[in-house]
A and B are shown apart, each in its own frame.
Chain A
Amino acid sequence: MSLEYYLILSALLFTIGVIGVLIRRNAIIIFMCIELMLNAANLAFVAISRSLGDADGQLFVFFVMAVAAAEVAIGLAIIVSVFKHRETINVDEVNSLKG
């Protein structure tokens, strides 16, 4: 079983995540896509860890998950408060940065 299969799968999952971030307007789904991208990276980590016979890659995954958990908590809280203020979570309607 070759490493490259896992890496190709990882790349495909990552790209699907990117496309999702770009084309969806619902903030929650965008957020899910970000989780998807993180997972794709995790897969690459574990696969290479396995090829090298080294546990460090798995530890990285552990840290990524911890950070992802924190990020999800904060991100969802932000979405909730945005919704409270604007009655929407569509990112194209949240455009205060427009110049």
Chain B
Amino acid sequence: MPRDLIIVLLISPLVGFLINGLFGKWLKGNEKLSGGIGALAVLVSLICSIIAFVSVDRGNTLEGEAGILYSWISDYISIGFHVDALTTVMLLVITGVGFLIHVYSIGYMHGDEGYTRYFAYLNLFVFAMLILVLGNNYLMMFVGWEGVGLCSYLLIGFWYEKQSATDAGKKAFIVNRIGDFGFLLGMFTLFAAFGTLDFGGIFETAKELQPAAEGMGLVETDSFKQIFGASTLVIATLLLFVGAIGKSAQIPLYVWLPDAMEGPTPVSALIHAATMVTAGVYMIARSAVLYNIAGTGVVVAWIGVLTALFAAIIAIKQNDIKRILAYSTVSQLGYMFVGVGVGAYASGIFHLVTHAFFKGLMFLTAGSVMHAMANELDIRKMGGLRKKLPITHITFLVGALAIAGAPFLSGFWSKDEILHSAWGSSKIIYIIGIATAFLTAFYMFRLIFVTFYGESRVDPEVESHLHESPAVMWVPLAILAIPSAIIGLLLGVGGHDSWFHHFTEKVSGFKVEHGEALGSAIPFMIISSIVGILGIAYAWTRYKNRVPSAEPTNALQKLVANKFYVDEIYNTFIVQPIKNASHFLLWKLFDSGIIDGIVNGVAVLIRAIGGLLRRLQTGLVQAYIVSMVVGIVIFLAFYLFFT
């Protein structure tokens, strides 16, 4: 595969960002041009991605020496590309979904003050995300990782006049920072253990040092350096996972994602559903070799499944359309972590792909609803929209069916693979997973029934303006609806024998030898289908003609409706103590007291010395000459008598 292709692929969004970012002032009057440039930049990347994909499919990957552009910090860290099956899958998701969302945004952001700024950020995001997936080492991945974090922050706080938006942006940034800290430490640990950060180098060394006895237990061997009595590999993988927890919104760092919905809806679709939040999953899949050897996948899987359940429960009681989708995203990300955690990397990535399509689709339809409803978010104030917004309704229904695991739609295949693999690893994880699947179907269809069916509860004034979105918005919806429906059928039929698995099996670490054969997938499929349909049916019975009550009736409901008070708990036990400590210790004591004290003290001291010294400056020329002559006499004396 030509390296230049990848360079074009990478640079194109950067060029778009520069044009929109630097010349936005002149483009402002021409929205079509500004948006067109943004979309075109991603389209170029999309075409390159397709070429790269075909190339990889024919067996031409770009790995090792061939991908290195520039050797930095000689022999340790290089800047280069690593393009294999996993990368191209991510590339297609990023540029494919990204392109459609750019097109959609042209219509959605119409008339916004920061139109060019929006496209500049969006292109920058795509660029950063491409760096993340293209890098051939952890450092480059980290650069992209931080880049997408920055863009996420910028886009969440895009409407910066809104206090809630800027707060949400800060929250996302700070919470992510915790995860990034873990990622950094993980990187340091890897560097300490392997002396390099290149994927190739680390994986090769790790495989050589791999203990003879393979298994899912934690490694206890002298092959790896030890820190605190544990293998560096275990430490490193866990620390990297902390990074993934932050970026991919898992327990306990998921709190930023629901708030991130303050950003424009296409941003939620692209960044906070389809691509950025899946970076953690990608990272673990990329590090599959390490997780296989260290055996820390168990931790990943457990965190993932608990997050999936927890977020699904919260989603049941939410009334804000985007927040429901946000919790749903958290929940689905949990599934992906279950997949990669139990060693079914291909399944996890497969779910990532299908989720990118159907969740992106649902966010965009939610945006379409908001667009029609004058930015109303509360589903209790909707209802009966089916007739007014037919395309939106159909596309949303496709997305919801896909996520709920309706037979033969894409979510059905990918989720089922994960659950199937989970069964092979731990029965408990499977049971929690299947329960979550039920909840997923339930809350999704609760959303649909309340929003699109039943009596209209729309404000009459708003209702008079109710209209279907323009073509530039609904066409991307329709296009996204197609893969959401059929991509699973295309790629996923056959479970662990599917096309997708064969395509990705050459990626380092993906091919895991399961202890025993997993057995037939068909019973699992049947169970999943039944559970999904049950969930839909239950939602039908409860919300067919009923509005969710405004006030929770019992304690349990109240607990769920308030998201288990997690934000409040964090606020009381973490945020406030830190704020107080900052205020009293850092600001009052350390900054005002010690730092300012030192600075002012130095100034006072210098003034005092100056006050003494100024007396020497008598202004009398002769006094100066006297001191000069004294100097001459002393020097002469020294010269004459001491040399």
B-binding residues in A (CB < 8 A): 18, 21-22, 25, 91-92, 94-99
A38 to B618, alpha carbons, bound, how many Å?
A: 27
Q: List 24 A-B contacts (CB under 8 A).
A: A18-B629, A21-B625, A22-B622, A91-B620, A91-B621, A92-B620, A92-B622, A94-B621, A95-B618, A95-B619, A95-B620, A96-B619, A97-B617, A97-B619, A97-B621, A98-B617, A98-B619, A98-B620, A99-B613, A99-B614, A99-B615, A99-B616, A99-B617, A99-B618
Closest to B617 in A: A99
Closest chain-A Cβ to B503's Cβ sits at a distance in Å of: 83
A21 to B621, alpha carbons, bound, how many Å?
A: 10
Tell which of B616, B625, B626 has the most Cβ of chain A within 10 Å.
B625
Chain B residues near A97: list those with CB within 8 A. Answer: 617, 619, 621
A91 touches B622 (CB 8 A): yes
| Interface flags, B116-130, vs A, CB<8A=1, else 0 | 000000000000000
Chain A residues near B629: list those with CB within 8 A. Answer: 18, 22
| Interface flags, B611-643, vs A, CB<8A=1, else 0 | 001111111111001100100000000000000
Which residues, 241 to 282 on B, are CB-close (under 8 Å) to A?
none
A98 touches B618 (CB 8 A): yes
Closest chain-A Cβ to B613's Cβ sits at a distance in Å of: 8
Closest chain-B Cβ to A25's Cβ sits at a distance in Å of: 8
The answer, among A21, A25, A99, for a CB contact under 8 Å with B619, is A99
B617 touches A22 (CB 8 A): no
A80 to B619, alpha carbons, bound, how many Å?
A: 20
Chain A residues near B626: list those with CB within 8 A. Answer: 22
Chain A residues near B617: list those with CB within 8 A. Answer: 97-99
A99 to B618, alpha carbons, bound, how many Å?
A: 6
Closest chain-A Cβ to B415's Cβ sits at a distance in Å of: 83
Closest to A92 in B: B620
A-binding residues in B (CB < 8 A): 613-622, 625-626, 629
Closest to A95 in B: B619
A91 to B624, alpha carbons, bound, how many Å?
A: 12
Closest chain-A Cβ to B455's Cβ sits at a distance in Å of: 89
A22 to B614, alpha carbons, bound, how many Å?
A: 22
A18 to B619, alpha carbons, bound, how many Å?
A: 19
Chain B residues near A22: list those with CB within 8 A. Answer: 622, 625-626, 629
Chain B residues near A96: list those with CB within 8 A. Answer: 619
A99 to B123, alpha carbons, bound, how many Å?
A: 62
A96 to B619, alpha carbons, bound, how many Å?
A: 6
A94 to B615, alpha carbons, bound, how many Å?
A: 17
Chain A residues near B616: list those with CB within 8 A. Answer: 99
A99 to B616, alpha carbons, bound, how many Å?
A: 8
Q: Which 9 A-B pairs have the closest CB atoms?
A: A98-B619, A99-B617, A95-B619, A99-B614, A97-B619, A91-B621, A92-B620, A22-B622, A95-B620
A55 to B560, alpha carbons, bound, how many Å?
A: 110
A98 to B622, alpha carbons, bound, how many Å?
A: 12
Chain A residues near B615: list those with CB within 8 A. Answer: 99
B622 touches A21 (CB 8 A): yes
Closest chain-A Cβ to B57's Cβ sits at a distance in Å of: 83
A98 to B625, alpha carbons, bound, how many Å?
A: 15
Chain B residues near A98: list those with CB within 8 A. Answer: 617-620
Closest chain-A Cβ to B257's Cβ sits at a distance in Å of: 65
Given A95-B620, A99-B615, 7 further pairs, Cβ under 8 A: A21-B625, A22-B622, A22-B629, A91-B620, A94-B621, A97-B621, A99-B619
Closest to B618 in A: A98
Chain B residues near A94: list those with CB within 8 A. Answer: 621
Chain B residues near A25: list those with CB within 8 A. Answer: 622
Chain A residues near B622: list those with CB within 8 A. Answer: 21-22, 25, 91-92
A18 to B628, alpha carbons, bound, how many Å?
A: 11
Closest chain-A Cβ to B561's Cβ sits at a distance in Å of: 75
Chain A residues near B614: list those with CB within 8 A. Answer: 99
Closest to B610 in A: A99
A96 to B620, alpha carbons, bound, how many Å?
A: 9
A99 to B622, alpha carbons, bound, how many Å?
A: 15
A22 to B626, alpha carbons, bound, how many Å?
A: 7
Chain B residues near A99: list those with CB within 8 A. Answer: 613-619
A99 to B617, alpha carbons, bound, how many Å?
A: 5
Closest to A24 in B: B622
A53 to B557, alpha carbons, bound, how many Å?
A: 118
